Amino acid sequence: MASSLTKGAAEQEKTSPAPGGKTFFGHPRGLAPLFMTEMWERFSYYGMRALLVVYLMAGGPDAKPDSQGGGLAMPEASSYAIYGVYVGMVYLLAMPGGWFGDRVWGPRKTVAVAAGVIMTGHLALAIPGKPTFFAGLALVAIGSGLLKANISTMVGHLYNGPKDPRRDGGFTIFYIGVNVGACAAPLIIGTVGQKVNWHLGFAIAAVGMGLGLLFFLLGTRHLSPTSSVVPKPLTAAERKSTLTKALLWFAAAAVFYGTVAGTGHFTQKWATIPLALLGVIIPITVLTRIKRDKELSETEQTKISGYIWFFVAAAVFWMIFDQAGSTMSSFAEKKTADNIFGLHFPSTWFQSVNPVWVMAIAPIFAFLWLWLARRDREPSTTVKFSMAMVIIGASFFVFAIPMAMASDGTKVSPAWLLMIYMIQTMGELCLSPVGLSLTTKMAPQKYASQMMGVWFLAVTAGDCTMTLLTEAGADLNGTGVILGQAAAATLAGFAVWMSRKRIEGLMGDVR
């Protein structure tokens, strides 16, 4: 096992382009297929996400009178809860997805299988009916979980270790691919789904993922050989034990929910609340287990202690940020004017605003960090995280203004949402690409792919917390709740900043 890993690491060194060789914007050529795969996967995911809440509400009591028929006619609060759990599960499943990459298939095979599962899920969404809709959501969540952690790990494999100076730049380019797909999706999938046919929109998402799989398969020859290595394969005994436990848990869930449904007590909350609780409990359990792993060196355990600070900050950040697809999506649908200079557009177009801002502002941030680094004045990772928290809090302080303006039924200008998304994007650029790179740097070797799953668990914790608040009766459309979230994020940002010296001490040689 050790010899195969050593060989893989040696071969990885060969993936760096030789002087004068072909590159992808100065980076290893393997970044190109990973860029295209992630772009099309995000196209399919964000296209479906843009439609999700408006589709769930369409035809129901909370829908606009002119909304396209054929939706599931669910109340607004229920739609928010389903959205929160769904997004949370996508990121929760990144953890077992990373485990598959580390222990079963290796990152490369896991990504290929994941893309096929996602495509199948979108095809199920394209078939009318509640059973196929929720089955499709489950398949997309499973496939996205398998793909997310492993494709990010494969980007890290392209570089010569954590100290490769191109590494952060490579993740920034990769992140641009995410936002190209996320930008195009609501404009195409959202328009077709909202204005022509919901299920045709979901079918277009399936086509997008199919294109992503094609680009990945065609570009595998440019990837690092390390991406095909299974770092710690399961033994025969471990395989049998894992399969037995999985079957037992599945059987227990089937019996429990079969009993609940058979006695006529099943409601949506029987699904959303247990899943949301898992989305909060599992991240805490996983971090505790890794921290207490006796196989980790003292240095690795210390870094995990530092990493927990970043994890908690990220959870608070995503708790607010991901409401773009729920609270802010509903606000765009019902309380925001649907035209600019006489041009009318569907509310799903607002879901393209954030990625547009990312593509516009990311190069500025990349230049700014480099310019400051040359003068030895670039903010540390800890300071960037604290900045992100304060900025995301500020975005909801601003959001409270148009919410108050629209309380009497007045529709506010789209400029409000454009500004709020711009503020949130600035916070995102201080946290998300930095967090991805940080995770690959601080991950213990034993948890290489799984640590990317841990990073995504921060999204799960944030989204599932909001689902629990919704199911508990909190009005996410109330200015009090919005201002409370804004204050919590801002205070968390100041807490990280005040503790920056302690956190940086725990990070060891990582900056």
pLDDT score for 21: 54
> What is d(CA 8, CA 338) in angstroms, rounded to the nearest whole number?
54
Phi, psi of 270 (to 5 degrees): -65, -20
Cα→Cα distances 195→3, 47, 83, Å: 57, 14, 21
**Helix or strand (DSSP H, E) at 343:** strand 343-344
DSSP state of 265: -
DSSP state of 344: E
> What is d(CA 77, CA 65) in angstroms, rounded to the nearest whole number?
18
* Of 450, 453, 358, residue with least CA distance to 144: 453
Please tell me whether residue 68 adopts helix, strand or coil conformation: coil
Q: Which residue has the tokens 């077992």?
A: 96
Q: Take residue 416 and report the two structure tokens written for it.
A: 């409000």
For residue 44, the one-letter residue type is: S
pLDDT score for 82: 92
400 touches 507 (CB < 8 A)? no
pLDDT tens per residue across all 511 residues of the chain: 433 333 333 344 444 444 445 777 778 888 889 999 999 899 988 888 899 999 998 875 554 443 445 678 888 888 999 999 999 998 898 888 888 888 889 899 999 999 999 999 999 999 988 889 989 999 999 998 889 878 888 888 888 876 677 777 787 788 778 878 989 999 999 999 988 899 999 999 999 999 999 999 999 888 888 888 888 888 888 888 988 988 998 888 888 878 877 887 777 888 889 999 999 999 999 899 998 888 888 888 888 888 999 999 999 999 999 999 999 999 999 999 988 877 888 999 999 999 899 888 888 988 888 898 888 888 888 999 999 999 999 999 999 999 999 988 889 999 999 999 999 999 999 998 888 778 878 888 777 666 777 888 999 999 999 999 998 888 888 889 999 999 999 999 999 999 888 887 877 666 6
Burial code (b: 16+ CB inside 10 Å, e: under 16) for 264-297 equals eeeeeeebbbebbebbbebbeebbeebeeeeebe
Summarised one tens digit per residue, pLDDT across range 79-112 is 999 999 999 998 898 888 888 888 889 899 999 9
Q: Take residue 166 and report the two structure tokens written for it.
A: 């191109």
Q: Take residue 217 and report the two structure tokens written for it.
A: 């398969």
HEC assignment per residue over 237-291: HHHHHHHHHHHHHHHHHHHHHHHHHHCCCCCCHHHHHHHHHHHHHHHHHHHHHHH
pLDDT score for 449: 62
For residue 194, the one-letter residue type is: Q
- In a 13 Å sphere around the CA of 128, the CA atoms on its Cβ side amount to 8
> What is d(CA 75, CA 1) in angstroms, rounded to the nearest whole number?
54
pLDDT score for 187: 93
The angle at the Cα of 143, spanning 142 to 146, to the nearest 5 degrees, equals 90
Q: Take residue 458 and report the two structure tokens written for it.
A: 């921060």
Cα→Cα distances 459→107, 279, 467, 487, Å: 21, 9, 12, 19
Tell me the helix, strand and coil percentages in the chain, rounded to 5: 80, 0, 20
pLDDT score for 225: 87
**Helix or strand (DSSP H, E) at 131:** helix 130-157
Angle between helices 414-442 and 298-321 (to 10 degrees): 170
What residues contact residue 281 under an 8 Å CB cut-off, 6+ apart?
Answer: none
